[in-house]
Amino acid sequence: MAVLENIRKRTTVLILIIGLALFAFVISGVFTSSNFGGEKVGSSVAVINGEDVSIDDFRQEVETASRRVGPTASSMQVVNQVWENTIRKNVLGAQFEDLGIGIEQDQIVDFLRTTGYAQNPEFQNQDGQFDPNIFKQTVADWKVNNPAQYDAWLQTENEIIQLAKEQTYFNMVKAGIGATLKEGELDYKLANEKMDIKYVRVPYSSIPDSTITVTKSEIADYVNDHKEEYKQDPARDLQYVYFEEKPSEADENEIKDAISKLLDDTVEYNSQTDRNDTIRGFRNAKDVSAFLDRNSDTKFDTIFKAKKNLPASVADTLMSLGVGQIYGPYKDGGSYKLSKMIARKSNGSVKASHILMQYAGATRANPDVTRTKEEAEAKAKELLIEAKKSGVVFSELARDNSDGPSAPQGGDLGYFQRGVMVPEFNDFAFNNNVGTIGLVETDFGFHVIKVDDKEDVVQIATISREIVASEKTINTLFTKATKFEMETTEDESAFSAMAKKEEFVVRPVNKIKALDENLPGLTNQRNIVQWAFNGDTEVGDVKRFNINNGYAVVQLTGSYAEGVMSSEDASVLVLPIIRKERKAAKIISANKGKDMSTIASDNSVSISNASALTVKSPTIPGAGSEPVVVGTAYGMANGATSGLIEGNTGVFKIELVNKTEAPKLDNYSVYANQLKTSAASRVNTSVYTALKDAAKIEDKRATFY
């Protein structure tokens, strides 16, 4: 912040440095004014440092952002993203205005060179380099011939200008950051001066929590003395019962019975012919594809499949079927199914590995391959002999010698069916036994092939019926949810009791914020959150909501206003702190004036040693991170003993056995530069965060979203 203050004091000098650049550059109408402080219309979605942010402008940006991200983000995620961008623009925009930061043509072009825009082929010359003249001409051409593209480009104008200004601003701040040689020397010493200590520790856990009494008024006093640490945003507590729309056992049985009836032939009366017709069932159907079209949720899959591609729970059973045999009905996922074996190909899938020897001119040969066809064949024959030797691992040979893309996988090509590989390769793989190794020539080169495995593939026709809730089940669910809502609305205190009586599960949700959208167990339920924060909704109110796959009956159980947490709400955080303070005081009082041996004896603990401690790594073996203890040791003389120290995990008394000075260096510029680089790397985030924290922001998003 001191750096920022210095920048503000030198505004005049900075304005001269950046050449009085107080305007944005316009390229053929491409870059327009940043329009900070322009006229706003409609209601405001925020007030940032006294400036209204128009809801109309905000909604337009949300719309644009939604089109960019597509369906991958929820509506509130997009709103929050635009919100953060809006705050950033306004907070940093005020700094740009104070410092007179503007962007000229050369700065814009230089900035574009360093971004992804420079990679757009439409902005590049024939050498693939970003060309400012081509860039200008392209945008001008969009304006005349591709209005949609031009409009899309215009939407990024302010973003580009904003990014360029941010880069300028943060670079100016970084220019004011430095580190002296003395700071570098201190940093070096803190990291390299080693301390050996003896210590005794009386852990806080040695005093039971039950022996420390903390009153509500003491918690309230603590919160009052630390108000900044216990601020809270408006929040709500809910509880809900979820009535999930799912099939009943009767629904499942009905679907199972319906699919079972498709198995055998049925007789139906035909009024047009005045006679009974026999309708072929799945068992005897001649046209399986047509039968599935009429009776199944899924089409006939004609692809032959290996066992691993079948449903795991029934794969063994399906593979054991003979042609024409049927298995089912069986449950797979959310459906009941009947499966019929249509055809089987014995050894219809082969797993093979190969070593490819390419030669110059072969199909898809790597340009780096210079060997002749004759040389490739000779090398392949050598590898064939080697591959057939006892003890040779084919995968290692392939990994070290193959020119094919499968080399990193040891030449493994996985499983494949007939017709996938080129004819010569295909014939060798399918016409030879597992374990056979041989040489084959194709247009790609010479292949040393090993047949690794073979498996049957099958063609199976499956009737599938999704298990869904019936209309009767849905109506019953609606009645249950409505009845529960009505009974608990009439008597708000009966929510938990009624749920328990009906054996409904009550799910609590605590401390939801005004802009939350996900509730545990219900995912995206923005409408419930909006209801909870509605000014007319009071604690105890109950409401039923239609949600995906059912209903949620929700009760508002708690309301928290913006401000400082109540002592009840803060107790879970404050109680451990006060207990720790009381325990520390108790331990210090009981051990004051005692030497280390007496403390160890009186408290049934031992004296321990810790070696090579540094201020920058203040972890004491057996005790954990103790920066205050290690820092105390750093300031002590060899042989000195400390008083009682209140640490993180207990009360310590230490003796500095030895402090090893770090070897002196001729120059500490390396460490000074490391400090400078580290500080500069944090500028972008730290400076913006400081400005944002200092800004007065009134958030009204919950009113509109």
Query: Which residue is listed with tokens 């949700």?
Result: 509
Measured CA to CA, the distance from residue 434 to residue 485 in angstroms comes to 68
Three-class DSSP category at 601: helix
Mean pLDDT of 462-490: 93
**How confident is the model over 317-328, as pLDDT tens digits?**
999 999 999 999
Annotate 589-613 with b (16+ C-beta within 10 A) or e (fewer): eebeebebeebbeebeeeeeebeeb
Q: Quick count: other Cβ atoms within 10 Å of Cβ 392?
A: 12
Domains in the chain: boundaries: 53-172, 194-232+568-660, 235-246+469-561, 247-468
Query: Which residue is listed with tokens 């042609």?
Result: 323
Name the more confident of 522 and 277: 522
Tokens of 161: 């200008």
Query: Average model confidence (pLDDT) for the chain?
Result: 88
Tokens of 484: 């529960």
**How confident is the model over 501-529, as pLDDT tens digits?**
999 999 999 999 999 988 888 878 899 99
Contact 339, 323 (CB under 8 A): no
* Percent of the chain surpassing pLDDT 90: 69
Residue 414's pLDDT is 92
Beta pairing partners, 121 = none
Residue 42's pLDDT is 53
In this structure, which topology does domain 247-468 adopt according to CATH?
Answer: Chitinase A; domain 3 (3.10.50)
CATH pick for 235-246+469-561 out of 3.10.50, 3.30.70, 3.40.50, 2.50.20: 3.10.50
CATH pick for 194-232+568-660 out of 3.30.420, 3.30.700, 3.90.226, 3.10.50: 3.10.50
pTM above 0.75, yes or no: no
Q: What's the distance, CA 109 to chain centroid? A: 34
Q: Which stretches within 176-287 are classed as H helix?
A: 181-192, 216-225, 249-260
- Nearest in space to 586 (alpha carbons), one of 212, 199, 200, 201: 212
- Nearest in space to 162 (alpha carbons), one of 95, 229, 73: 95
DSSP string, 19-31: TT--S---STT-S
Judge whether 194-232+568-660 and 235-246+469-561 match in fold.
yes
Mean pLDDT of 601-621: 94
Is the pLDDT confidence value at 475 over 80? yes
Tokens of 561: 């206003």
Residue 187's identity, in one-letter code, is D
**How confident is the model over 193-251, as pLDDT tens digits?**
999 999 999 999 999 999 999 999 999 999 999 998 998 889 999 999 999 999 999 99
